[in-house]
Amino acid sequence: DQQVKQNSPSLSVQEGRISILNCDYTNSMFDYFLWYKKYPAEGPTFLISISSIKDKNEDGRFTVFLNKSAKHLSLHIVPSQPGDSAVYFCAASEWGGNQFYFGTGTSLTVIP
Amino acid sequence: EAQVTQNPRYLITVTGKKLTVTCSQNMNHEYMSWYRQDPGLGLRQIYYSMNVEVTDKGDVPEGYKVSRKEKRNFPLILESPSPNQTSLYFCASSFFHGQGVTEAFFGQGTRLTVV
């Protein structure tokens, strides 16, 4: 059973606009969350993380929001750039845990 | 340069012919793991290792074996590959400490086709 879900397989956004990628989880024990970015023919690369003691974490154009009560997190990219076109995976773990659980990925296309 | 190296990048094999995909990391990470990526299913963990000689099953371990004899290497072994193991495989490594597993560094992937 998929504990981490990304319900949008794909998303298209105009360059300069905001991209919002969503992720839902079912396990209330998860308290550490990460986003990865994956280009074709490459492995995923770490983008940004958040722990459950926070509800927001920013790194440049990337911001992750966590809503623990809704078991939902989102990744905002502002402004979106064509180089952001990639597949984005969210992942979750229990603090102190030894496994990450990944979502199915969202393919983002940023249109110039 | 910090990296996780997998070999081979592409492999086509026949059903039942044993194969090994190698994985090596140069970051002195304690934790290493293998994932497979399939359309619509995302990344699913096959096996992981928290240190030398310590391995454990992930979510989809059937048909796979691993070993961790040295800290830097974590090979994935398919003793008798079947077509349903056709997939894109990723090796990853992370630090592991009291607060758990940190963000992973992934290899470039191995595209395996079993005919």
B100 pLDDT higher than 80: no
Task: Dump pLDDT digits (tens) for B19-50.
Answer: 999 999 999 999 999 999 998 899 999 999 99
Give the pLDDT confidence score for residue A103 in this predicted structure: 94
- Interface size, chain A vs chain B, as Cβ–Cβ contacts under 8 Å: 66
pLDDT at B70: 96
Going from the C-alpha of A87 to that of each of A14, A20, A64, B110, the distances in angstroms are 16, 13, 16, 18
- How high is the pLDDT of residue A73? 96
User: Cα separation of B79 and B5, whole Å?
Assistant: 22
**Terminal Cα distance for chain B, rounded:** 36
* Chain B neighbors of A91, CB-CB under 8 A: 43
SS3 A22: strand
Residue found under tokens 């979510």: B59
Provide the pairing of β-strand A101-102 with A86-93.
antiparallel
Enumerate residues 74 to 93 of chain B having a beta carbon within 8 A of any beta carbon in chain A: 90, 92
Spatial neighbors of B1 by CB under 8 A, at least 6 apart, are none
Angle at B110 between CA A10 and CA B67, to 5 degrees: 120
> Which pLDDT does position B98 carry in this prediction?
67
> Do residues A7 and A106 lie in contact, with contact meaning Cβ atoms separated by under 8 Å?
no
All residues of chain A having their beta carbon less than 8 Å from the beta carbon of residue B107 are 43
Given A45, A96, A99, which is nearest B45 (Cβ)? A99
User: Residues B21-51, buried b or exposed e (16+ Cβ, 10 A)?
Assistant: bebbbeeebbbbbbbbbeeeebbbbbbbbbe
Give residue A14's pLDDT.
98
B110, exposed or middle or buried, with CB in 10 Å at 0-12, 13-18, 19+? buried
